[in-house]
C-alpha cells in the first residue's frame, strides 16, 4: 500500500517538477521572511535575552501581555489606531466618490487627465517627502501656516507640540495621498454605467441631483460596500509612514499621534522593550487575523469576485 502511494507521489512530482521549481524561490523566500517570524512570535511569551536568542530565552507565559494590558499606553494606541482608521475610511469614501462624480461630469478629456494626474501624483511620493511638505506649513517658526496666522493677527500654534491639531492633520494628509487612486477607481466604475439610463432619466425630466442619487450612486454602492468592508478588515493596521514621518517623532503629541504600529516600533528600537513590543504586535496580528477572515467572508457573500478568497 505504502509503495503505491510513494509511486504515485513520485509520478506526480516528476510531472510537475518544472512548475514546482518555478515556485521554489518564492516558497523559500516566504518561508524565511514570513513563516519563520511567525514561529518567532513566541518571543512574546518569553523574556528575551539577546545572548540566548529566541529559543534559548525562558518562558514567562502571559506576563508580557499582563504588563501590556495594564499599561495606560494600550488604551491610547488602540483608540488612536481604530479612531484614525475609522476617520480615514469614512473621509476617503465620501471624498473619493464625490470627486469621481465630478470628474464624470467633465466634458474635456484634457481637463480630466490633468485633474487625475494632479490628484494622483501624491501616490508616488514617500511619506518622508510628504512630511517635508507638511513641515513647510507647520514649522512653528518659519512655516507658512503660522506666518498667515500672524498676518491675520491670530496666535501662532506650536504644531509639533499641539495634540488636538493632529486629529485634523492626519485625515487631511491621508486624504491628500490616497484620493487620487480611489477617485480613479470609482471613476472607472462610473464608466461602466450604461448611458441609456441617463438618457432615459433626462427624457423623464430628472434634475442633476436626482440623476446622481438615483442612478450613479446606487451603481457605486457595491464597490463602496466592498472597499469599506475590506478596509475594516485592516483597521488594526496603521500606515506606518504616515504616523511615523509626519509628526517628526515628537513625544509631546504621542497622545494623539501614537498608534499600535509606532508603539511597537518605538518599544523595540528605542526602548529595547522586547516584551511590550512583541506582545502588542502579536495581539494586533491575532485580532487582525480574525477581522480579516470575517470581513472577507462577508465580502465573499456579496461579491465573490472582490474577496481575497
Partner 1 sequence: MRGSKLSLSRIVMHVFLIAMSILFIVPLWSILSISLSREVDIASLGYRLIPIHLDFQAYRFILQNPITIINAYKVTIIISCIGTFLSVLMISMCAYALSRSDFKYRGVITFYLFFTMLFSGGLVPYYILMTKYLHLQNTYLALILPLLGSVWYIFLMRTFFQQLPDSLVESATIDGAGEWRIYFRIILPLSTPVLATVGLLQLLNYWNAWFQALLFIDKPQMYPLQYLLQVMMNNIQEILKNMQEGVSVDAGQLAAIPSESTRMAMCILAIGPMLFIFPFFQKYFAKGLTVGSVKG
Residue closer to partner 1 (CB basis): 12 or 66: 12
Residue closer to partner 1 (CB basis): 45 or 88: 45
**Could you tell me how many residues make up the chain?**
309
Residue 288: CB minimum distance to partner 1, A = 8
Residue among 207, 194, 184 at smallest CA distance from 101 = 184
Q: Rounded distance, CA 200 to CA 144, Å? A: 51
CA atoms within 13 A on the CB side of 306: 16
Residue 277: CB minimum distance to partner 1, A = 5
Q: 48 is written with which cell numbers?
A: 528575551
Residue closer to partner 1 (CB basis): 89 or 227: 227
Residue closer to partner 1 (CB basis): 90 or 144: 144
Task: Supply the DSSP string of 238-273, one letter for each residue.
Answer: --HHHHHHTTTT-GGGHHHH--HHHHHHHHHHTS--
Task: Supply the DSSP string of 198-217, one letter for each residue.
Answer: HHHHHHTT--HHHHIIIIIH
Residue 87: CB minimum distance to partner 1, A = 19
Yes or no: say if 105 and 198 are a contact pair by the CB < 8 Å rule: no
Residue closer to partner 1 (CB basis): 87 or 185: 185
Residue 275: CB minimum distance to partner 1, A = 9
Residue 83: CB minimum distance to partner 1, A = 22
Amino acid at each position: 500500500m505504502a509503495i503505491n502511494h510513494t509511486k504515485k507521489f513520485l509520478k506526480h512530482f516528476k510531472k510537475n517538477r518544472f512548475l514546482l521549481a518555478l515556485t521554489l524561490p518564492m516558497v523559500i523566500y516566504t518561508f524565511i521572511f514570513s513563516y519563520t517570524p511567525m514561529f518567532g512570535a513566541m518571543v512574546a511569551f518569553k523574556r528575551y535575552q539577546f545572548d540566548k536568542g529566541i529559543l534559548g530565552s525562558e518562558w514567562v507565559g502571559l506576563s508580557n501581555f499582563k504588563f501590556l494590558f495594564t499599561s495606560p499606553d494600550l488604551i491610547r494606541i488602540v483608540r488612536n489606531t481604530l479612531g484614525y482608521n475609522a476617520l480615514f475610511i469614512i473621509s476617503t469614501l465620501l471624498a473619493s466618490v464625490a470627486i469621481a462624480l465630478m470628474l464624470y461630469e467633465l466634458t474635456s478629456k484634457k481637463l480630466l487627465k490633468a485633474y487625475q494626474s494632479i490628484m494622483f501624483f501624491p501616490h508616488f511620493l514617500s511619506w518622508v517627502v510628504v512630511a517635508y511638505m507638511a513641515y513647510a506649513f507647520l514649522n512653528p517658526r518659519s512655516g507658512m501656516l503660522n506666518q498667515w496666522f500672524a498676518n491675520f493677527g491670530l496666535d501662532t500654534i506650536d504644531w509639533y507640540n499641539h495634540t488636538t491639531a493632529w486629529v485634523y492633520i492626519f485625515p487631511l494628509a491621508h486624504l491628500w495621498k490616497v484620493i487620487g487612486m480611489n477617485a480613479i477607481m470609482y471613476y472607472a466604475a462610473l464608466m461602466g454605467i450604461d448611458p441609456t439610463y441617463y438618457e432615459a432619466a433626462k427624457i423623464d425630466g430628472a434634475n442633476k441631483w436626482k440623476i446622481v442619487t438615483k442612478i450613479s450612486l446606487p451603481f457605486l454602492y457595491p464597490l463602496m460596500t466592498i472597499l469599506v468592508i475590506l478596509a475594516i478588515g485592516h483597521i488594526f493596521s496603521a500606515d506606518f509612514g504616515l504616523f511615523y514621518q509626519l509628526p517628526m517623532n515628537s513625544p509631546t503629541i504621542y497622545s494623539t499621534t501614537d498608534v499600535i504600529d509606532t508603539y511597537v516600533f518605538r518599544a523595540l528600537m528605542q526602548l529595547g522593550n522586547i516584551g511590550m513590543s512583541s506582545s502588542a504586535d502579536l495581539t494586533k496580528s491575532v485580532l487582525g487575523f480574525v477581522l480579516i477572515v470575517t470581513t472577507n467572508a462577508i465580502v465573499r457573500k456579496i461579491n465573490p469576485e472582490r474577496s481575497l478568497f
